[in-house]
């Protein structure tokens, strides 16, 4: 079945460590996104990518990095510079206009990161 | 700057009642207004969406009411059921950006509990 796969589902990190969250999609979508979810704050955009080898900062990019070497993959690295990384991280994708874009975001099941 | 304001933050409704969640936006360039439903530990999924050329859209027990002049839209859940208990996010985006890219702005979410 087509969809978005995030891994790991749960991740624990010690302070000062970098961690990488995986996001893979087989929907043939051009655009991919990373959101951070905190209680009472909704979904905040970290980074997004419209095409391979190109990505832009979202509203809260500080302390995070991404890469887009393949259309189906958009990993997120939470670096030690992120001051409050404990959160639920969601990856999403959507088709763009001309490639079947409907406006709908498809989300993965999320990765919960806890800093010890 | 928060561009989509959502209320209430939480809502308790009895089974069979009507659940109403409200959102207001500021950016008049928004032209796509989706609602997403999220169950605990899962990623959000599109529930229903509306474009500003109509004032109402109904899908089963779910209805979006849209007031363009007031820059407000709301989700009504008729005959609410315990299975509707979830967090609901309103969102807005502009599909007219160059290259077809759309950046989605989310509300802060409403946690709905439907009690038997």
* Residue in B closest to A9 by C-alpha: B41
Tens of pLDDT along chain B (116 residues) come to: 458 999 999 999 999 999 999 999 998 888 889 999 999 989 999 999 998 889 999 999 999 999 999 999 999 999 999 999 999 999 998 865 555 556 788 999 999 999 99
Can you tell me whether residue B98 is helix, strand or coil? helix
Contact B110, B12 (CB under 8 A): no
Q: Report the alpha-carbon angle A66-A67-A72, nearest 5.
A: 115
Q: Do A105 and B36 touch (CB under 8 A)?
A: yes
Tens of pLDDT, residues A17-42: 999 999 999 999 889 999 999 987 88
Confidence of residue A100 (pLDDT cuts 50, 70, 90): very low
Q: What is the pLDDT of residue A5?
A: 96
Residues A95 and B20: their CA atoms lie apart, in Å, by 30
Sheet bearing A19-25, strands edge to edge? A4-7, A19-25, A76-78, A64-66
Q: What is the pLDDT of residue B94?
A: 80
Going by C-alpha positions, the residue among A115, A6, A107, A83 that lies closest to residue B91 is: A107
Q: Which of B6, B43, B46 sits opposite A109 (nearest CB)?
A: B43
Residue A99 reports pLDDT greater than 50: no
Tens of pLDDT, residues B11-21: 999 999 999 99
Q: What is the pLDDT of residue B69?
A: 94
Residues A71 and A50: their CA atoms lie apart, in Å, by 9
Distances (CA, A) of A15 to A7, A80, A87, B9: 20, 7, 14, 32
Q: How far is A113 from chain B (nearest CA, A)?
A: 13
DSSP alpha helix (H) spans, chain A: none
């Amino acid at each position: 079945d087509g969809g978005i796969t995030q891994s790991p589902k749960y991740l624990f990190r010690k302070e000062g460590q970098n961690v990488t969250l995986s996001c893979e999609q087989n929907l043939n979508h051009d655009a991919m996104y990373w959101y951070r979810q905190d209680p009472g704050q909704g979904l905040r955009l970290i980074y997004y990518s419209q095409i391979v080898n190109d990505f832009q900062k979202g509203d809260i990019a500080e302390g995070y990095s991404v890469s887009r070497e393949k259309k189906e993959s958009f990993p997120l690295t939470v670096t030690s510079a992120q001051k409050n990384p404990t959160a639920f991280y969601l990856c999403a994708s959507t088709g763009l206009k001309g490639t079947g874009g409907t406006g709908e975001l498809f989300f993965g099941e999320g990765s919960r990161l806890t800093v010890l | 700057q928060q561009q989509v304001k959502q209320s209430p933050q939480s809502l308790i409704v009895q089974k069979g009642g009507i659940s109403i969640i409200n959102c207001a936006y500021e950016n008049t360039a928004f032209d796509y207004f989706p609602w997403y439903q999220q169950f605990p530990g899962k990623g959000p999924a599109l529930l229903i969406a509306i474009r500003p050329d109509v004032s109402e859209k109904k899908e089963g027990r779910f209805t979006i009411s849209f007031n363009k002049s007031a820059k407000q839209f709301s989700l009504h859940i008729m005959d609410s059921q315990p299975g509707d208990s979830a967090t609901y996010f309103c969102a807005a985006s502009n599909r007219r950006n160059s290259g077809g890219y759309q950046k989605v702005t989310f509300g802060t979410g409403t946690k709905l509990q439907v009690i038997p």
